[in-house]
Amino acid sequence: MIINNTRENAIVDAICLWMGYQLRIGREQLIHEASLRYPIADTITAFGTHIERVALEKLHPLFKSRKIDLVIYEKDLHEIDAGLSDIEEVFEFKLAKKDTSNINTEEPQRLFDDIIRLAYYNLWTGKNTYFLICGKYDEFKTYFVGQSNNVISYQSKFLIPPRYAAANSTDIYPQTDKWEEAGLYKDLFSFSVEESKIKQFTIQDDWSLDSFQKSYLIREGVANTFQFTESLTIKTTCLAITPAGEKNKTHAAGIWRIEGF
């Protein structure tokens, strides 16, 4: 299936508007990765995918004791066995936050695990796999894209002030040409629509692929068919992303297609 980028743009806009609404009504603390599925699933169904084809948080068909954030099946669930061959697309979601760029925490490895898991899934099955990450605009900018930003100290914590939309504003957040990739993920993700990045990982790396293979187990029923490789080349293609510097945006998001070779 060829992805319609209009759908991807709608997902990016919808998740940013939903998170902005949660911020304004004081429910920001209730936002977590699992909650992202609902506005995203709603948007996917609005673009013509029948609700009975969409499954939220399914057990992973290849990796033991793991789950997929969102699965789209080829037909309605009551019409198929919901097996490996019945899956059309899979999505994984992440929130951009302070630990996203902190290599002294588990968060960067968790993000890479998502990408590697999607790349292996695509390599082994040929299915369409997608990664979405979203968050407060300036946290997305600072901790994921890697651009510098103003960080304040408050009660021994380093914080980025929240960004609120201002009524009738035309120049608070000036438009810029593009995201300036400079952080931990600059070699893995492009931040321009339709651009791709290709990167090879090996088990000799200090983290990423080696850590992934030590943490993940292939299910017994498919272990004879799917085997880990000593290297994995990953291609990520940006399908949609919040424009850099867009006026009055409280949040930002991006979607990438993930391929493994």
Q: pTM of this prediction?
A: 0.86
Using DSSP's 3-state secondary structure scheme, residue 131 falls into strand
For residue range 217-251, what is the model confidence (pLDDT) as tens digits? 999 888 889 999 999 999 999 999 999 986 678 99
Res. 135: pLDDT tops 50: yes
Determine the Cα–Cα distance for residues 218 and 226; give it in Å rounded to an integer.
Answer: 8
Question: How many Cβ atoms sit within 10 Å of the Cβ of residue 239?
Answer: 22
Q: Could you give the C-alpha distances from 18 to 14, 133, 239, 251, in angstroms and in order?
A: 6, 14, 20, 9
Query: In degrees to the nearest 10, what's the CA dihedral of 228, 229, 232, 238?
Result: -30
Res. 162: pLDDT tops 50: no
Determine the Cα–Cα distance for residues 136 and 27; give it in Å rounded to an integer.
Answer: 14
For residue range 21-70, what is the model confidence (pLDDT) as tens digits? 998 888 887 888 889 999 999 999 999 999 999 999 999 989 999 999 99
The pLDDT score that the predictor gives to residue 149 is: 57
Which runs of E-coded beta strand occur in the chain? 54-59, 67-73, 87-95, 128-136, 152-154, 157-159, 196-202, 231-241, 251-260
For residue range 189-221, what is the model confidence (pLDDT) as tens digits? 999 999 999 999 998 876 678 889 999 999 988
The first and second tokens of residue 177, run together, are 């040409």
